[in-house]
C-alpha cells in the first residue's frame, strides 16, 4: 500500500508529508482547494509526464516521494529484480524531481531509473480511476485478463500457453524440414554427383600434406640418391669405418698386463661406436631403398594430389576438410532420401499439437463463458443501488479463427454496456456518460477486486452528480473494495466521507508570499465538523452536526 506521500514545491504545495493507512482513505475539501494538485503530484511520482508548470512559483525545482509497503513477491518487486535492481524486501520508495526548465529525474530506492521504467512500476502499484481515466477497464485489450483473473483461470491459461508454445515449436520443426527437403531436391543432382566423387576419391585426413611431401622427395629422388651414395661409399670404402674400428678393437683386446686394464674404457667406447656405425650404415641403406626414384609412382601421387585439390576448389574448402564434407553430404543425401518420411512425421506431430491446443482452448473458452455469466450477474446486482437500474452490463466473448489463437487462448473479450432499453450494447467509454462511467467502473472494481494486482486504488470524485441513497451506495462499495486493497477517494459526498477509515481535509489559504494548499488529517471531532460542512454548506447548523453524527455512527 501507499504508506507515505511527500511533496515539495509542487504548484501551491510548498511542503507536505502525508501518512496514509490501509482501508479507505477519504480526501475532502472545498471546490478549488487543490485536490487535483495532490493527484497530479502522485501521478508524477508514478511516472506521469513531467510538466515544468508543476514547479511552485519561486522555486527552482519540485519533488514528490511515494513510499510503498509491499510483499517481496509483488509484481513491482519482480519487475525491479528483472532489471537487476534492489527492491528493498518489499519497501519501495519512488522519487521524482522536476526543474523549472522541464528536466526530470527519477529514482526507485535511491537507484536512478528511466521515466519508462518508473511508469511501468507505477502502473503495478496504483490504479487511478477518474471519470475519464481508467486504463484497464476502458481498454478492451485488458478485458480478457480481467475476466480470467475473476474466473481463476491462471492454471488453464498456463496450460493453453504451454500447448501453444508446443504447437509453435512443432510448426517450426515442420517448416525447417520442408525447407530442407525443397533445398535438397533443388540441388539433388549436384549432391549425388558430389557424393559419388568424394566416395570414389575417399580422401583421408592429412593426406594432402603427406602426398605433397612424398612428391617433393620423389622429384628430388636422383639428386638425393647420388648424395646418399656418396655418404655410403665414404663410410664403407676400404672395408668401412666399422671394419677399421673393429680391427683396432681386436688388437686392443689381445693386450695383457697393466696396459690391458687401462685400455678397458677405450675398448668399451670403441665397441659402442662400432655398433652405432653399423646401425647408421644400415639406416642409410634403408633410406636409399625408400628413395629409389620411380616415375610411375610419382605420376600416381601427382594425379591424386591434383584430384584432391580440384575437389577442394570445387567445394570452396581446404583440402583437409574434404573427409568431413563427404560425411556431411552423405548425411544430407540420406536426409533427402528420408525427407518425405521426416516431413510426414513432423506433420503428424503438428496435427497432434494442434489438437491438444484446440482441446485446451475449448476448455478455457468454456470456463470463460461460465465466468462471464457470473461476472455479468455480479455487476448487474451492483448497478441498481448506484442509480443505474436501467443499465445492463454484458461480457461479450467472440471466438477467434484458429490462425489468431495465441498463448492466451482463442477468444476476444470486451465489457459492454447499454444504459437505456432498446439501445444496443457498446463499449463502456462510448456508451456511458461521465458520471455513469465512474459508477460502472466502481461496480466492476468491487466485483473484480480480488483479481487486482495494484495494492492501491485512487478514485477521483466517483460520486460526482449523485447524492442521497446513491451516494451512500457508492460509499458502501468503496468501503467494501477497501477490504481487498487500499483505497483513496477524493469526494464531495458526506455519505462517502463518513465511511473513511482515515479522513483528510484539503485546504487552501493565503499566506505571506502567496496561496498555499495543505492536507490536514482529521480527528473524530474534526471529522464531524467536516461532514457537517459537506451536508450544510457555508453555515454549519446543529441539524447538520446531528446528521453528521448519524452518518458517522451508521458506519
What is the pLDDT at residue 243? 77
* Distance in angstroms (rounded) separating the CA atoms of residues 457 and 480: 13
Instruction: Calculate mean pLDDT across residues 21-31.
Output: 90
pLDDT in tens, 69-79: 998 888 888 88
pLDDT in tens, 526-540: 999 999 998 887 788
**Poorest-pLDDT segment among 163-177, 192-206, 308-322, 334-348:** 334-348
pLDDT in tens, 82-95: 888 887 777 899 99
Which residue did the predictor score with more confidence, 183 or 450? 183
- 91, 65 contact by CB (below 8 A): no
C-alpha cell at position 490: 477524493
pLDDT value at 434 more than 70: no
* Distance in angstroms (rounded) separating the CA atoms of residues 2 and 124: 12
Residue 515's beta-bridge partner residues?
A: 510
pLDDT value at 118 more than 90: yes
With a CB cutoff of 8 Å and minimum separation 6, the contacts of 274 are 242, 245, 246, 249
Spell out the SS3 assignment of 306-371.
HHHHHHHHHHCCCHHHHHHHHHHHHHHHHHHHCHHHHHHHHHHHHHHHHHHHHHHHHHHHHHHHHH
What is the pLDDT at residue 125? 92
C-alpha cell at position 20: 496514509
Which residue did the predictor score with more confidence, 250 or 453? 250
What is the pLDDT at residue 415? 93
Strand order in the sheet with 426-427: 392-399, 411-418, 426-427
**Poorest-pLDDT segment among 33-47, 305-319, 331-345:** 331-345
Residue with cell 518508473: 118
Instruction: Calculate mean pLDDT across residues 114-125.
Output: 92
* Distance in angstroms (rounded) separating the CA atoms of residues 158 and 372: 19
pLDDT value at 240 more than 80: no
* Distance in angstroms (rounded) separating the CA atoms of residues 304 and 315: 17
Can you give the pTM of this predicted structure? 0.64
In which band, very low, low, confident or very high, does the pLDDT at 450 lie, cut at 50, 70 and 90?
A: low
Rounded to 10 deg, the angle between the 295-315 and 188-201 helix axes is: 150
- Helix ranges (H only) for 414-455 are 428-431, 434-448
pLDDT value at 339 more than 90: no
Polymer length in residues for the chain = 555
Instruction: Calculate mean pLDDT across residues 367-375.
Output: 96
* Distance in angstroms (rounded) separating the CA atoms of residues 126 and 136: 12
CA 44 to chain CA centroid, nearest Å? 27
What is the pLDDT at residue 291? 66
47: nearest Cα among 115, 144, 99, 105: 115
pLDDT value at 471 more than 80: yes
pLDDT in tens, 472-498: 888 898 998 888 889 999 988 999 999
What is the pLDDT at residue 132? 46
What is the pLDDT at residue 173? 93
pLDDT in tens, 355-368: 999 999 999 999 99
* Distance in angstroms (rounded) separating the CA atoms of residues 518 and 18: 10
56: nearest Cα among 517, 478, 546: 517
* Distance in angstroms (rounded) separating the CA atoms of residues 160 and 269: 90
pLDDT value at 155 more than 90: yes
* Distance in angstroms (rounded) separating the CA atoms of residues 398 and 413: 7
The CB-based long-range contact list for 281-287 (8 Å cut-off, 24+ gap) reads 281/232, 281/235, 281/236, 281/240, 281/242, 284/228, 284/231, 284/232, 284/235, 285/232, 287/228
Which residue did the predictor score with more confidence, 399 or 127? 399
Which H or E run contains 542?
helix 542-554
Instruction: Calculate mean pLDDT across residues 382-409.
Output: 93
- 79, 120 contact by CB (below 8 A): yes
User: 345 exposed, middle or buried (CB, 10 Å; 0-12, 13-18, 19+)?
Assistant: middle
What percentage of the chain reaches a pLDDT higher than 90? 42
Instruction: Calculate mean pLDDT across residues 257-265.
Output: 79
Residue with cell 514528490: 64
What is the average pLDDT value for the chain, to the nearest integer? 87
Instruction: Calculate mean pLDDT across residues 225-236.
Output: 76
- The C-alpha angle with vertex 478 and arms to 474 and 483, in degrees rounded to 5, equals 150
Amino acid at each position: 500500500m501507499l504508506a507515505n506521500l511527500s511533496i515539495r514545491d509542487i504548484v501551491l504545495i510548498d511542503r507536505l508529508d502525508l501518512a496514509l493507512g490501509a482501508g479507505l482513505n477519504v480526501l475532502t475539501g472545498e471546490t478549488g482547494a487543490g485536490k487535483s494538485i495532490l493527484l497530479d503530484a502522485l501521478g508524477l511520482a508514478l511516472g506521469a509526464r513531467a510538466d515544468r508548470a508543476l514547479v511552485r512559483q519561486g522555486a527552482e525545482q519540485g519533488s514528490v516521494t511515494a513510499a510503498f509497503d509491499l510483499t517481496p513477491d509483488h509484481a513491482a518487486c519482480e519487475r525491479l529484480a528483472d532489471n537487476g535492481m534492489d527492491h528493498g524486501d518489499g519497501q519501495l520508495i519512488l522519487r521524482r524531481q522536476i526543474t523549472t526548465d522541464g528536466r526530470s529525474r527519477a529514482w526507485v530506492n535511491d537507484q536512478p531509473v528511466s521515466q519508462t521504467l518508473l511508469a511501468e512500476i507505477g502502473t503495478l502499484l496504483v490504479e487511478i480511476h477518474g471519470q475519464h481515466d481508467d486504463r484497464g477497464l476502458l481498454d478492451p485489450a485488458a478485458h480478457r485478463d480481467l475476466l480470467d483473473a475473476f474466473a481463476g483461470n491462471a492454471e488453464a491459461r498456463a496450460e493453453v500457453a504451454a500447448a501453444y508454445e508446443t504447437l509453435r515449436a512443432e510448426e517450426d520443426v515442420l517448416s525447417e524440414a520442408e525447407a530442407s527437403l525443397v533445398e535438397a531436391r533443388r540441388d539433388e543432382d549436384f549432391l549425388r554427383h558430389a557424393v559419388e566423387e568424394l566416395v570414389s576419391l575417399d580422401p583421408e585426413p592429412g593426406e594432402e600434406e603427406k602426398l605433397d611431401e612424398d612428391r617433393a622427395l620423389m622429384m628430388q629422388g636422383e639428386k638425393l640418391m647420388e648424395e646418399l651414395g656418396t655418404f655410403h661409399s665414404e663410410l664403407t670404402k676400404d672395408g668401412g669405418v666399422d671394419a677399421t674400428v673393429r680391427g683396432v678393437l681386436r688388437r686392443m683386446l689381445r693386450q695383457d698386463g697393466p696396459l690391458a686394464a687401462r685400455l678397458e674404457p677405450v675398448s668399451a667406447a670403441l665397441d659402442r661406436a662400432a655398433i652405432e656405425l653399423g646401425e647408421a650404415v644400415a639406416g642409410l641403406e634403408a633410406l636409399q631403398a625408400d628413395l629409389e626414384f620411380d616415375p610411375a609412382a610419382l605420376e600416381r601421387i601427382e594425379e591424386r594430389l591434383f584430384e584432391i585439390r580440384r575437389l577442394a576448389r570445387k567445394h570452396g574448402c581446404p583440402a583437409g576438410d574434404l573427409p568431413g564434407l563427404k560425411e556431411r553430404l552423405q548425411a544430407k543425401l540420406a536426409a533427402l532420401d528420408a525427407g518425405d518420411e521426416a516431413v510426414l512425421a513432423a506433420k503428424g506431430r503438428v496435427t497432434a499439437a494442434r489438437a491438444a491446443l484446440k482441446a485446451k482452448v475449448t476448455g478455457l473458452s468454456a470456463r470463460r463463458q461460465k465466468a462471464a455469466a457470473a461476472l455479468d450477474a455480479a455487476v448487474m446486482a451492483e448497478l441498481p443501488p448506484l442509480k443505474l437500474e436501467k443499465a445492463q452490463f454484458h461480457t461479450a466473448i467472440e471466438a477467434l479463427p484458429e490462425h489468431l489463437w495465441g498463448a492466451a487462448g482463442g477468444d476476444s473479450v470486451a465489457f459492454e454496456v447499454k444504459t437505456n432499453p432498446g439501445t444496443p450494447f457498446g463499449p463502456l467509454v462510448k456508451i456511458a456518460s461521465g458520471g455513469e462511467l465512474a459508477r460502472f467502473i466502481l461496480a466492476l472494481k468491487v466485483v473484480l477486486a480480488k483479481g487486482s494486482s495494484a495494492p492501491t486504488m485512487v478514485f477521483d470524485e466517483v460520486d460526482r452528480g449523485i447524492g442521497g441513497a446513491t451516494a451512500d451506495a457508492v460509499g458502501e462499495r468503496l468501503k467494501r473494495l477497501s477490504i481487498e486493497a487500499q483505497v483513496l477517494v477524493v469526494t464531495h459526498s458526506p455519505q462517502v466521507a463518513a465511511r473513511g477509515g482515515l479522513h483528510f481535509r484539503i485546504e487552501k489559504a493565503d499566506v505571506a508570499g502567496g496561496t498555499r494548499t495543505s492536507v490536514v488529517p482529521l480527528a473524530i471531532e474534526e471529522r464531524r465538523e467536516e461532514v457537517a460542512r459537506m451536508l450544510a454548506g457555508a453555515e454549519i447548523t446543529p441539524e447538520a452536526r446531528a446528521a453528521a453524527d448519524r452518518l458517522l455512527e451508521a458506519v
